[in-house]
Structure 1
Amino acid sequence: MTEFWVIDDDSPVPVSSEVVLEVLRSRIDSGQFETWLTSSSGRSLAFVTNKERAMVMLLEEEGDPGEHAVDPGAEGSSGGFVLSNGQGDEYLDGDTVPMGEAFRLVEHIVETNSWPAEARWVGDR
């Protein structure tokens, strides 16, 4: 069976790589800056943004520290990452990626169930 992804707090209908970016943009436009997707195999994909950069994390199972996309050349930090519980976070820019890259990563993971070969990410395990 092929792994598929659903948005955690939306319909249980699978979201395809063709529409996942539209869904993310719509959620951001409505003030939802944190989105979790769950795969049919139990993995989780997190996307948290401040509209300029995003934290993209892939977790194998509940409780897994996972792995996240990185931007090794970035310096400084950015705030404004608002979680669904209202908490505002700040992350090092090296631990987040620009929005275009974040969208590309999410789309690729939803389509292929893995990071793109050239993606920069680190394991937090």
Structure 2
Amino acid sequence: MIESWVINGDGPIPVSSAIVLEALRSRIDSGRLETWLTSSSGRSLAFVTNTERAMVMLLEEEGDPGEHAVDPGAEGASEGFVLSNGQHDEYPDQDTVPIGEAFGLVEHIVGRGSWPAEASWVVDR
């Protein structure tokens, strides 16, 4: 069975890897910097951005600490990650990736169901 993904809050129509980036960009342009996707197998994919960097997390089920993309050589921290509940977060840059890389990660996970081979990520379980 091929896993399909939907953007939470955007209706039941699945998004493909071919259109997920367009959907993310549209959400960012309208000020929605936090996006959650849910797969047909019950997994969740989180994308939270400050428009320059993004936190990308993949969770196997509700309550799972999951795993997230990292930028091992990054130093410092970035703020401006605004969650849908209005909370403003700051994350260490090593726990986020440049937004272009984050787009590629989301596109790959939605299309293939896993992190790309070249991705750096850590398991938080």
Category of TM-score, reference length = shorter chain: over 0.9
Encode CA deviations 1:56-83: one digit per residue, 9 max, x unaligned. 0000000000000000000000000000
Structure 1 segments of 4+ aligned residues over 6 angstroms from their partners: none
| In 2, Cα distance between equivalents of 1:78 and 1:64 | 25
Indicate the residue corresponding to 1:70 in structure 2.
70
Residues 1-10 or 58-67, more deviating: 1-10
Are 1:61 and 2:61 counterparts? yes
Rounded Cα–Cα distance in structure 1 between residues aligned with 2:116 and 2:106: 10
Match of 2:11 in 1: 11
What is aligned with 2:117?
117
Partner in structure 2 of residue 102 of structure 1 = 102
**Secondary structure, in 3 states, of the residue corresponding to 2:41?**
coil
In structure 1, give the amino acid aligned to 2:32.
Q
Aligned to 2:50: 50
CA distance in 1, matches of 2:57, 2:115: 10
Partner residue in 2 for 1:82: 82
* Aligned residues between the structures: 125
Q: Match of 2:6, as an amino acid?
A: V
Unaligned 5+ runs, structure 1: none
**Matched residue type, 1:24:** L
Instruction: Letter of the 1:10 partner, please give it.
Output: D
Across the aligned residues of Structure 1 and Structure 2, the Cα RMSD in angstroms comes to: 0.3
In percent, how many aligned pairs have the same letter? 81
How high is the TM-score relative to the length of structure 2? 0.99
1:11-69 per-position Cα deviation (integer Å, ceiling 9, x unaligned): 10100000000000000000000000000000000000000000000000000000000
